[in-house]
Copies of this chain bind each other. A is one copy, B any other.
Amino acid sequence: MYDWASELAATNSDCPEGARLRRLESRVCPAKTMEIFQLKYFVTAARLLHFSRAAEELYISQPSLSLQIGKLEAELGAPLFHRQGRRVSLTDAGEALLPLAERILEQEEEARRVVQQVAGLERGRLSLCALPALDQHLLPPWLARFRREHPGVEIRVRELRPARAVAQAVLAGRADLGFVHLPCEHEGLEVRPLLQDPFALVVPEGHPLAGRSQASLEETAGEDYVWVSEAQDSEHPLYAACLRAGFTPRIVCQSGSAQGVLALVAAGLGIALLPRLAIEARPGTRVISLTDPEQFRTLAVLWQPDTLSHSARRFLDLCDPDP
């Protein structure tokens, strides 16, 4: 036997030695806990009131069972069984412990079940985060399918703006997946482009273009534009599209949201350039496709590469454009 005492007599400071000494100390007077297998042994023995048969049921030998019961009793400081010759019965302490031990065993079972349900997508949580237009027009069909296939998973969708905030939410772990349009700063995030969302014009009924089904962006160089407030930036895809088409849009009116813009167009204040997915059919307006093929924004999904939950992994597979 090693001589702990002398070692423990040494200084118990906070230097690296401190932790080691405290560990030694905790081994000298161990604060042991009962263990689940001991509770399982106890419950079986308590139900059968027969050590040998209980041991058989547990697939261990009778002495092993006796030993573990003895340890449990020693640790609790009270005998659990009366051993009167060949008859065995519970003491009051054993009687008190039995229901509690059974509860613990049930919960151990439940813990295992729940973890496996999470892994098997029978349970869990999926938290998504998307730009306003996307959660309304892009996600629903995928969400419907996911819900149908995994009805036990709780789904949470949050709308955030701008794309930067979405990326931050994903980075901070507040969302499993983020849906944005590119380009988007993605320091340390995985990005997968999903699809291309073409831009389209929206004009009020009665506007010269209203009868056409297609138009080119150049044609609208002289029009009055209703614009989304935050998109007045040459970095923004909509603004950049106009610049590419050779003009700077004359913005006569702004709104904070695509819905707002559409309302203003319906009121006749001007025309608008918006991504298709953000346009809702609205009386008093006409939607006109662009002939310019490369006028679009790319939608993408972001996620943290190493912390995907089972449900997020599955959703990602689900919205993969080429499965």
Contact = CB atoms under 8 A, between A and B. Distances in A.
Interface of A: 19, 22-23, 25-26, 33-37, 40, 56, 59-61, 76-78, 82, 84, 89, 91-93, 96-97, 100-101, 103-104, 107-108, 110-112, 114-116, 118-119, 123-125, 173, 306-307, 309-311
Taken together, the copies of this chain in the complex come to 2
A111 B34 contact: yes
25 contacts: A22-B59, A23-B61, A25-B59, A33-B36, A33-B37, A35-B35, A35-B36, A77-B119, A78-B115, A84-B306, A89-B173, A89-B307, A91-B309, A92-B118, A92-B310, A93-B310, A96-B118, A97-B114, A97-B115, A100-B110, A100-B114, A101-B111, A103-B107, A104-B108, A107-B107
B76 A116 contact: yes
A70 B32 CA distance: 21
Given A35-B37, A96-B123, A107-B107, 18 more contacts: A33-B40, A36-B36, A76-B115, A76-B116, A78-B116, A82-B306, A92-B309, A92-B310, A92-B311, A93-B310, A96-B114, A97-B111, A97-B115, A100-B107, A100-B110, A100-B111, A100-B114, A104-B104
A104 B101 contact: no
A103 B105 CA distance: 12
A179 to B, nearest CB: 20
Contacts of A311: 92
Contacts of A25: 59
A248 to B, nearest CB: 45
A261 to B, nearest CB: 39
Contacts of A36: 33-36
Nearest to A52: B19
A96 B84 CA distance: 45
Contacts of A110: 100
